Chain A
Amino acid sequence: MNAPDGITDDTRLTPLRLIIMLFVLTLAGALGWAVCSLPEYSSGLAVTALAELSNSGVLNPVTAAVLNYRGYDTLLEIAVLLLAVIGVWSLAQAEPPAAFEPASPVLLSFMRIVLPLMILIAGYLLWIGSFAPGGAFQGGAVLAGVLVLLRLSNQDFAIWSHEVWLRFCLVLGLSVFIAVAVGVMAGGGKLLEYPRAHAGMLILLIESAALISIALTLAALFVGGRALSDEDSSSASENGVQPK
C-alpha cells in the first residue's frame, strides 16, 4: 500500500506488529469488560448539576458545567488553545497570499450570501447557550469557519497582517477569563466563584471574549503559521520580495 507521498507503509504482519496487536486486543478486551460491568443506570453528576442550576446563572446545564461548575478546567483549556497557536507560530510562517489562486466568482458570490449569515449564527449560538445547546465553543467554531472561507478565497490578508490586533484578540478570551476569575475574589469569593446575582452576566462576558479567541485560534491553526507582520513585510520588500 503506497502512501500519497511515496513512502511505502507496508502492512505486513511482522512479529513485532503481532505483539502490538495482541497487546491492543488485550487492552480493548479489558476496557470492554470494564464498560460492560458498569451499572446500567447511573445519574452520575446529573442530579447535583440540575439541583445547582438555579445558582449557576444559566439555564442550560452543559453551559453551567463548562463555565461554572468546571470553570477551572475550561480556563486551562482556553490556555491550551493559546499555547497551540504560540507553538504553531514559532514553528512556521504562513504561506504568502500570492501562493493561492484567485478565488472563483462562484465562491465569492456564495460567500457574500453565507458569511453574514454565519456571523449571525455564531452570535446566536453564543446567546442561546445560556438556556439551550450552544455557547462560546460552538459559536467560535462557526466564526472560525468564516475565517477559513476568507482564507480559502484569498480575501483575508487584512486580518492576518494587523499583528497587534490579532495578538490582542487571541489572548482576549484567556485575559477576560482570568480577570473575572480573580476579580470575583475581591468580593470575598474564592477563585472562579461567581457572585450569584451576576453569574449570568459574567458567564456571558467570558463567553463573548472566548468566542473571539476560539474563532481566531482555530483559524490561525488553519492558516498554519505566523503571518507576515508589517516589519517582516517591509524587511522582505527591502530584500526584493513583494509583501502582497
Chain B
Amino acid sequence: MTLEPYLLYALAGVGLFAIGLYALIARTHLLRKILALNVMGTGVFLFLVAIAYRSEPVADPVPQAMVLTGIVVSVCATGLALALAHRVQTTTGRMVLPENDESGA
C-alpha cells in the first residue's frame, strides 16, 4: 500500500487533535488549555482539507468552505476564551480553574 499524500495530512490532523486533547485534559494552566483547543482545531481543519483533496479533478469545495469560516470562528472563540481566562486571573489571582487549584500548583 502506498502512502497517498492526503493520508499523510489526514493522519497528521488526527495526531494534532490527539496532542491537543491530551494537553486540554492534563494541563491546568488556562493559557495552555486555550492553546490546546487551538491545536485540536488546527488538526480538524487539516483533516478536512486533506479529505477534500481526495476528489478528482478538483478538490471538494464544501470542506474547504467549512474550514474557511471555521478559522475565523476559532479565532473568535479564542478571543472570548482569553477574555474569560483574563477574568479568572483578575478575580482569583491564578491562571487555573478553581477545581484544579490545589492539584495544579
Which residues from chain A contact B54 at a C-beta distance below 8 Å? Answer: 38-42, 44
* A68–chain B nearest beta-carbon distance, Å: 10
Q: Does A182 contact B (CB under 8 A)?
A: no
Cα A87 to Cα B82 in complex, Å, equals 11
State which residues 46-69 of B face A: CB under 8 Å. 47, 51-52, 54-56, 58-66, 68-69
A73 is contacted by which of B17, B32, B58, B69 (Cβ under 8 Å)? B69
- Size of the B side of the interface (Cβ < 8 Å), in residues, is 53
B87 is contacted by which of A43, A62, A92 (Cβ under 8 Å)? A92
Digitize B60-92: 1 where CB-to-A-CB distance is under 8 Å, 0 elsewhere.
Answer: 111111101111110111011011101100000
Q: Does A88 contact B (CB under 8 A)?
A: yes
Cα A40 to Cα B28 in complex, Å, equals 40
Contact: B60 with A44, CB < 8 Å?
A: yes
- Size of the A side of the interface (Cβ < 8 Å), in residues, is 57
**Closest chain B residue to A42 by CB distance?**
B54
Chain B residues touching A, majority SS: helix
Which residues from chain A contact B68 at a C-beta distance below 8 Å? Answer: 62, 66, 135, 137-138
Contact: A218 with B14, CB < 8 Å?
A: no
Q: Does A236 contact B (CB under 8 A)?
A: no
Contact: B76 with A218, CB < 8 Å?
A: yes
Contact: A35 with B29, CB < 8 Å?
A: no
Contact: A74 with B22, CB < 8 Å?
A: no
Which B residues have a C-beta under 8 Å from some C-beta of A?
4, 7, 10-11, 14-15, 17-18, 21-22, 25-29, 31-32, 47, 51-52, 54-56, 58-66, 68-73, 75-77, 79-80, 82-84, 86-87, 94-96, 104-105
Closest 8 CB pairs of A and B: A221-B79, A65-B65, A28-B18, A61-B61, A84-B76, A44-B60, A46-B55, A46-B60
12 interchain pairs, CB-CB under 8 A = A24-B25, A28-B14, A31-B17, A43-B60, A44-B62, A69-B65, A88-B83, A137-B69, A137-B71, A137-B72, A218-B79, A225-B83
